């Protein structure tokens, strides 16, 4: 028994030795350092975690090793035969190694108090810091504010495409948790930076005075903050200030709901605006990530509009193109195969997920429309590349398990003609009727589509 317990302790100890300490405040500080006020990445920054976080990590490991040695000693006193002496020696040697490492780091800290380091690839460092921040649990309001302000800012303003992509993918669960219903555009006339700073000073002053003077001024200053049109930069500043407020210990029980309301409202606005920025991003990789996040977390309405956006649209005489009605998605443009593939792959993974309360006729027609669109994509060699057409066939297999299940578009086209005829000729709750000749046209772009055949023969 004792030997088994010691092996479990040993496994935990080795895991701690091999793991790295991730600090939310340190990662957030590094992200603040990497991206300056002009949204440009810095090469020389004060990188926390380079020394101080490592010291905390080593101290924690040494403490864990010390506790393990103490437990092993206690077990040896109770049951000397159960103790593996070699194991105890290994743990003690590990503690010596950790102490030596701590001494080396202390020597380095003593020779360099500034903590400034040169970052050769700040965009890659930003990605690493975002990944570290996403690994830290966000259980408190301060931790939540810290994470969301960084995700929103980096999704929209970081020059590094990989960091923007990761921020958009990382914000998905928060869209669901905070009940963000749709992306948004930035305000046409956002509040000036000076106005934002004045509002923040008023809120912080009211917050510090509230324990003695009551919540009237605090509520008024909170309402002023919520009434202002803030862009992402303004939201980032306010959320950072609220993070510091939430991290303090001056709040009474009456003050906490006010802070929570302001924080959650502005968090929703920041996430919605960041997602909207991602959906308009010039880089297909980033736009694809935004589409995936929306499809996964905003519900079937977004899924349907994402599919609608796959239909190319011609600009009007003034160069404008129509956006989708609810979510404001722009139609695809040439060269966005990655976006098309991500949308179709997400459709294959998540399906349409239509509401059970949807009208049966509308449900049937919606499914028919989606199947028709996806089959048309599988044929359209002019608009869609080979990878996109292959994604369309994979989506068809997931959406229509009763279909041929193959990767041959000809088989799907033949199946579709029969299926669509039956679906349109039969009542919603009745059995499918036999197909009738000419009841349904072939999907646009298919070999039997008359318009396609005529254009090819011209």
Q: Which of 234, 250, 279 is the last residue of a domain?
A: 279
What is the pTM for the complete model shown? 0.77
More confident residue, 16 or 329: 329
Which of 88, 123, 158 is where one domain is finished? 123
Residue 107 Cα distances to 95, 113, 115, angstroms = 19, 11, 13
Segments forming the whole domain that contains residue 253 = 137-279
Closest to 302 in 3D by CA, of 172, 155, 391, 148: 172
Phi, psi of 136 (to 5 degrees): -85, 130
Cβ-proximal residues to 63 (8 Å cutoff; 6+ apart), any chain: none
- The answer to whether residue 245 is domain-embedded is yes
**In this predicted structure, what is the pLDDT of residue 448?**
37
In a domain, 66, yes or no: yes
| Residue among 73, 117, 66, 122 at smallest CA distance from 96 | 66
| pLDDT bucket at 457, cuts 50 / 70 / 90 | very low
Residue 128 lies in a domain: no
Could you tell me which residue, 309 or 3, shows the higher pLDDT? 309
Residues forming beta bridges with residue 46, ordered by sequence position: 116
Any domain includes 285: no
What is the full DSSP assignment across 114-159? S-EEE-S-HHHHHHHHHHHHHHS---SHHHHHHHHHHHHHHHHH-S
Provide the token pair at 5. Answer: 């317990």
User: 438 and 313, same structural domain?
Assistant: yes
Regarding whether 260 and 149 lie in a shared domain, the answer is: yes
80 has pLDDT over 80 = no
Which residues on adjacent β-strands are paired with residue 35?
41
pLDDT at residue 436 above 50? no
Which pLDDT value is given to residue 75? 55
Q: Cα separation of 75 and 146, whole Å? A: 43
Q: What is the DSSP letter of 81?
A: G
How long is the chain?
458
The CA distance from 3 to 285, in Å, is 52
Q: Is 294 within the bounds of a domain? A: no
Residue tagged 């965009």 (tokens): 123
CB 280 within 8 A of CB 330: yes
In total, how many domains does the chain have?
3
Look up tokens 């309402």; give the residue.
223
Residues 36-44, mean pLDDT to the nearest whole number: 94
Q: Are 142 and 116 members of one domain?
A: no
Q: What is the mean pLDDT of residues 441-454?
A: 40
Domain-located, residue 132? no
Phi-psi region of 357 (alpha: psi -120 to 50; beta: other; left: phi over 0): alpha
> What is the number of H-type helices and E-type strands within the chain?
19, 2
pLDDT, one tens digit per residue, over 193-211 is 999 999 999 999 999 999 8
Cβ atoms within 10 Å of 242's Cβ, excluding its own:
25
Sign of CA dihedral 327, 138, 151, 227: positive
| Range among 79-93, 115-129, 141-155, 387-401 with highest mean pLDDT value | 141-155
Do both 108 and 142 map to the same domain? no
Q: Residue 20, SS3? A: coil
pLDDT at 432: 41
Given a contact cutoff of 8 angstroms between Cβ atoms, the answer to whether 110 and 149 are in contact is: no
Question: In this model, does residue 86 exceed pLDDT 50?
Answer: yes
Cα–Cα distance for residue pair 25/41, rounded to 1 Å: 19
pLDDT at 148: 98
Domain presence at residue 12:
yes
307 and 450 together in one domain: yes
Q: pLDDT at position 249, please?
A: 72
Same domain, 273 and 150: yes
Both 412 and 341 in one domain: the answer is: yes
Cα–Cα distance for residue pair 142/256, rounded to 1 Å = 12
- For residue 147, give both structure tokens: 């994470």
User: What is the tens place of the pLDDT at every residue in 55-65?
Assistant: 555 565 555 66
First vs last C-alpha separation in the chain: 85
273 and 182 housed in the same domain: yes
What's phi and psi for 27, nearest 5 deg? -65, -40
Same domain, 48 and 168: no
**Whole-number Å distance between alpha carbons of 129 and 120:** 15
Q: Are residues 304 and 446 in the same domain?
A: yes
C-alpha angle 104-110-116 in degrees, rounded to nearest 5: 100
Q: Are both 12 and 104 inside the same structural domain?
A: yes
Is 129 among the domain residues?
Answer: no
Counting other chains too, the contacts that 72-75 makes at CB distance below 8 Å and 24 or more residues apart are 72/6, 72/9, 75/2, 75/5, 75/6
Question: Of residues 66 and 442, which shows the higher confidence score?
Answer: 66
Mean pLDDT of 45-71: 63
Residues 6+ apart with CB under 8 A from 275: 155, 168, 171, 175, 180, 183, 184, 290, 293, 294
Q: What is the pLDDT of residues 99-135, one digit of tens each?
A: 565 555 555 444 344 478 999 999 999 999 999 999 9
């Amino acid at each position: 028994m004792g030997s088994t317990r010691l092996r479990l302790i040993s496994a935990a100890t080795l895991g701690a030795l091999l793991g790295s300490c991730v600090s939310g405040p340190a990662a957030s500080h590094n992200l603040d350092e990497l991206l300056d006020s002009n949204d440009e990445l810095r090469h020389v920054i004060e990188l926390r975690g380079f020394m101080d976080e490592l010291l905390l990590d080593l101290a924690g490991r040494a403490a864990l090793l010390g506790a393990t040695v103490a437990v092993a000693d206690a077990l040896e006193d109770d049951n000397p035969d159960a103790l593996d002496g070699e194991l105890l020696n290994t743990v003690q040697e590990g503690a010596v190694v950790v102490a030596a490492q701590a001494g080396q780091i202390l020597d380095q800290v003593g020779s360099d108090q500034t903590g400034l380091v040169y970052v050769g690839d700040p965009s890659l460092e930003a990605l690493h810091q975002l990944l570290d921040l996403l690994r830290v649990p966000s259980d408190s309001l301060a931790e939540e504010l810290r994470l969301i302000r960084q995700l929103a800012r980096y999704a929209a303003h970081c020059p590094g495409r990989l960091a923007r992509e990761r921020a958009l993918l990382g914000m998905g669960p928060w869209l669901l948790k905070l009940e963000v219903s749709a992306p948004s555009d930035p305000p046409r006339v956002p509040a000036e930076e000076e106005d934002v700073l004045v509002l923040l000073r008023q809120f912080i002053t009211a917050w510090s005075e509230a324990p003695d003077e009551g919540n009237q001024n605090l509520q008024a200053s909170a309402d002023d903050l919520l009434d202002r049109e803030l862009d992402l930069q303004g939201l980032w500043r306010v959320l950072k200030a609220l993070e510091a407020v939430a991290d303090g210990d001056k709040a009474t029980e009456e003050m906490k709901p006010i802070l929570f309301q302001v924080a959650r409202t502005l968090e929703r606005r920041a996430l919605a605006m960041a997602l909207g920025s991602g959906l308009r991003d010039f880089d297909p990789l980033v736009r694809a990530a935004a589409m995936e996040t929306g499809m996964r977390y905003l519900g079937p309405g977004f899924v349907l509009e994402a599919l609608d956006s796959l239909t190319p649209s011609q600009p009007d005489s003034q160069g404008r193109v129509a956006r989708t009605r609810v979510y404001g998605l722009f139609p695809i443009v040439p060269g966005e195969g990655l976006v098309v593939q991500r949308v179709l792959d997400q459709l294959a993974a998540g399906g349409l997920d239509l509401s059970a309360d949807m009208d049966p006729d509308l449900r049937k027609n919606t499914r028919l429309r989606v199947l028709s669109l996806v089959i048309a994509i599988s044929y359209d060699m002019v608009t869609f590349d080979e990878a996109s057409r292959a994604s369309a066939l994979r989506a068809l297999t997931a959406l229509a398990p009763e279909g041929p299940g193959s990767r041959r578009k000809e088989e799907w086209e033949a199946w579709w003609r029969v299926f669509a005829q039956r679906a349109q000729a039969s009542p919603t709750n009745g059995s499918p009727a036999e197909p009738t000749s000419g009841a349904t046209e072939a999907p646009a772009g298919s070999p039997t589509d008359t318009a396609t055949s005529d254009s090819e023969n011209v």
